[in-house]
Structure 1
């Protein structure tokens, strides 16, 4: 299984071009579109989202992860094995949180690049072929070199900021496992806890631990982003009472 995680969006041709390359080099592999709306140019937010999502996929899955504002510069490209799953992407911090949260991590730098490749689309021209070979069981030893550590490493602890806004306007944060009696606020507004949407009144704001274990701010039948003016990067205060 190859899992796509990018900031490419759905309006442009980039996802289709990547899938075409994967079909060429790994025609029997299932390709799953996990997320193509990772906050634009934001590997920090992406790193916490990817770490939260990864355990929901079976061991052996290959994640092609592309949030790469430095594409074409001297930044390295890497392969990571962590938690029994593979990750292919830029060495810009995007893969660093999940790397730090596992003890079985192995790292490689991608040393290969095809001749005449454009500088702006390594997701298709480099990462996709490497991911396809790994997913097909043909580990590309000739295209990789062992690596001791990533060049860019974000703090692997919780990130008390909004890291993603879904189309409902729910605000995901990078904070994990918050107890129900915690005090949570954002945009100067306190949020009460609710187990789920149906337990809050219509139009009422609340917080909950979402399906991948992250604290999320929401409004029942409304948009937390619109109601409270929340945006990616906004701080979230979490006070644990115990």
Structure 2
């Protein structure tokens, strides 16, 4: 039985997540349901794409990924299934899936056409769950859909190189649960332009001149404990997804704060790297 993942902006205050899971279990009691996230900012397709694109590769081929962000049906936001990299992605044609699959070979794109299915109510429960369960049972894509050739593409904020290759200007694309600010500047892009030069990362009024591979890379364990960097200090790392991330070591957004609150960063804010 295939795995079904859920990524939504529903949150946990209301009944929506439970209703979707209950609908899956009613049809497939033996199914495996995995939550990727239900804390996506409302209608934030960039954040959704970032999280799911970094989660789905760890699942087995044949997994089915239900995307419940901006899922209301319209003629410009049709319900679709995309099969790429051995995975099924079910959602609305709002650009999320193309952001996830932009570097992948897309093998099939189809519009969901399940008979007697009300697309104008709770689409994730009424449409996406039925499609996911059909595929999880081994059903054919052609039975519940028809070919679709108008896959919507959106331009995600992309970093740009300026100042004759001496600067990279990027943006914050995600604030994680620790308050860390993830940028869209990749290690690959950074390394391509650094050429062993010193640099500074500018985030509002803060400047950082080093990037670590781990959070505790900020600590020089050869120094006496009282002289080391530690909790509360600002750092930059290459995160596991290969992006530059700004963090506060051992941050807690509910007490001392994180990089987002202490630096006043939010999604789309500009982050600049200057090579010196």
Maintained 8 Å contact 2:7/2:37: yes
Instruction: Tell which structure's C-alpha radius of gyration is larger.
Output: 2
SS of 2:58's equivalent in the other structure is: coil
Pair 1:184 & 2:201 matched: yes
Alignment-derived partner of residue 137 in structure 2: 136
CA distance in structure 2 between the aligned counterparts of 1:122 and 1:113, rounded to whole angstroms: 14
| Gaps in structure 1 of 5+ consecutive residues | none
Pair 1:196 & 2:203 matched: no
CA distance in structure 1 between the aligned counterparts of 2:121 and 2:185, rounded to whole angstroms: 33
Deviations 1:21-65 (A, max 9, x none): 111222222100111112211113322332232212221111001
Shift of the 127–207 alpha-carbon distance from structure 1 to 2, 3 Å rule, reads same
For these two proteins, the number of residue pairs brought into alignment is 238
Shift, 1:96, TM fit: 0.8
Give the stretch that moved more between structures: 39-48 or 154-163. Answer: 154-163
* TM superposition score normalised by structure 2: 0.77
SS of 1:145's equivalent in the other structure is: strand
CA distance in structure 1 between the aligned counterparts of 2:103 and 2:177, rounded to whole angstroms: 29
Alignment-derived partner of residue 168 in structure 1: 178
More helix by share: 2
Alignment-derived partner of residue 155 in structure 1: 155
Stretches of 4+ moved more than 6 A in 1? Answer: none
Give the stretch that moved more between structures: 2-11 or 187-196. Answer: 187-196
Higher normalized contact order (CA 8 Å, seq sep 6+, divided by chain length)? 1
CA distance in structure 2 between the aligned counterparts of 1:133 and 1:239, rounded to whole angstroms: 51
Shift of the 54–174 alpha-carbon distance from structure 1 to 2, 3 Å rule, reads farther
Query: What is the RMSD computed on CA atoms of the aligned residues?
Result: 2.4
CA distance in structure 1 between the aligned counterparts of 2:134 and 2:273, rounded to whole angstroms: 43
CA distance in structure 1 between the aligned counterparts of 2:273 and 2:137, rounded to whole angstroms: 43
Maintained 8 Å contact 1:2/1:64: yes
Maintained 8 Å contact 2:157/2:171: no
CA distance in structure 1 between the aligned counterparts of 2:125 and 2:145, rounded to whole angstroms: 17
SS of 1:141's equivalent in the other structure is: helix
Shift of the 130–118 alpha-carbon distance from structure 1 to 2, 3 Å rule, reads closer
Maintained 8 Å contact 1:196/1:208: yes
Alignment-derived partner of residue 100 in structure 2: 98
Maintained 8 Å contact 2:110/2:146: yes
Which one of 48, 62, 65 corresponds to residue 64 of structure 2? 62
Shift of the 23–220 alpha-carbon distance from structure 1 to 2, 3 Å rule, reads same
Which one of 67, 85, 90 corresponds to residue 83 of structure 1? 85
SS of 1:193's equivalent in the other structure is: coil
Shift of the 22–122 alpha-carbon distance from structure 1 to 2, 3 Å rule, reads same
Give the stretch that moved more between structures: 75-84 or 163-172. Answer: 163-172
CA distance in structure 2 between the aligned counterparts of 1:8 and 1:102, rounded to whole angstroms: 28
Shift of the 49–158 alpha-carbon distance from structure 1 to 2, 3 Å rule, reads farther
| Gaps in structure 2 of 5+ consecutive residues | 160-169, 219-228, 252-257
